[in-house]
Amino acid sequence: MKFFIPLFLLLSTLYAGELNWLNNYDEALKQAQKENKGVYLFIGADVCRWCERFKKLTLSKKEVIDKLEEDYVLLYLSRDRHQIPKHFVTKGVPRHYFLTKDGKIVYEDVGSREVEGFFSLIEEANLKKED
């Protein structure tokens, strides 16, 4: 039994999972149209403790990774490094946008979320998409 616990912990950290983020808005829209998916845009900053908290507590979880990769093309834009279209608010990060494959904003929110709160955000975006 003592052997299995460390092995389990090792294996679970090996799948710490990483999301494959695009960093170009136009490229993300092209991919979304090709794959017939929406776009999840996460706007952050290079130095942002709330962004880091969100990445660590939420975006590293397998269930979140699986859900995002299934339904969305993933786009991360740092307000410090990337070209962000002017119609997106960049003050107050982390900022979350759910877009159609054509770039129309379906839902937006701001703040760090833990897993359950983030799934609620996705659910809200899905409800708005249906309107």
Question: DSSP letters along 47-112, please?
Answer: S-HHHHHHIIIIITSHHHHHHHHHHEEEEEEETTTS---TTS--SSSSEEEEE-TT--EEEEEES-
pLDDT value of position 83: 94
Tokens of residue 59, six digits: 């975006």
In which order are the strands placed within the sheet that holds 38-44? 72-78, 38-44, 95-99, 105-110
- Hey, how many other C-beta atoms are within 10 angstroms of the C-beta on 99? 25
How buried is 7 (Cβ within 10 angstroms: 0-12 exposed, 13-18 middle, 19+ buried)? exposed
pTM summary value? 0.84
pLDDT of residue 130: 73
Q: How far apart are CA 130 and CA 111, in angstroms?
A: 24
**In which residue ranges of the chain is pLDDT below 70?**
1-17, 131
List phi, psi (to 5°) of 42.
-110, 115
pLDDT of residue 54: 97
**pLDDT value at position 131?**
66
